[in-house]
Amino acid sequence: MSLTPVRVILPGMLRDLVGGVPEIEVGVPAEPVTVADVLDRAFVDHRILDGKVRDERGQIRQHVKVFVNGEDATRGAGVATPVPAGARVHIINAVSGG
């Protein structure tokens, strides 16, 4: 099965936890995958990130945003949002508060 790359781009606050790595490239199969699938793969070798981005139910934390090709997944289907091959997945600390 051929895999195509998806880029998971980390915010600065999380890069410090994984040795300064700015982004993680994961291979995904051609069939549709979801944000949850992509994060599962991205966090295999960076376990500490999983607890920062998602709670133990697998849901994106309240004050974290995940964008897929510039679209805010947390305003839509959340972790069930489809991720096309070649996509950019941005993880962002939300601008919460005043």
Question: Do 8 and 40 touch, CB atoms closer than 8 A?
Answer: no
Determine, following the binding rule CB under 8 A, whether residue 47 of this chain makes contact with another protein.
yes
CB contact burial 12-31 (16+ within 10 A = b; e otherwise): eebeeebeeeeebebebeee
Q: Which x/- pattern, by CB under 8 A, does the window 6-45 give for another protein?
A: -------xx-------------------------------
Range in contact with another protein (rule: CB under 8 A) among 20-28, 49-57, 69-77, 79-87? 49-57
Q: What value, to the nearest 5°, has the Cα angle with vertex 17 and ends 13 and 19?
A: 110
**Amino acid code (one letter) for 70:** G
Candidate residues 7, 15, 52, 88; the one interacting with another protein per rule CB under 8 A = 52
In the complex with another protein, which residue's Cβ is closer, 7 or 61?
A: 61
DSSP state of 81: -
Provide the binding-site residues for another protein, judged by CB under 8 A.
13-14, 47-48, 50-53, 55-57, 59, 61, 63-64, 93-94, 96-97
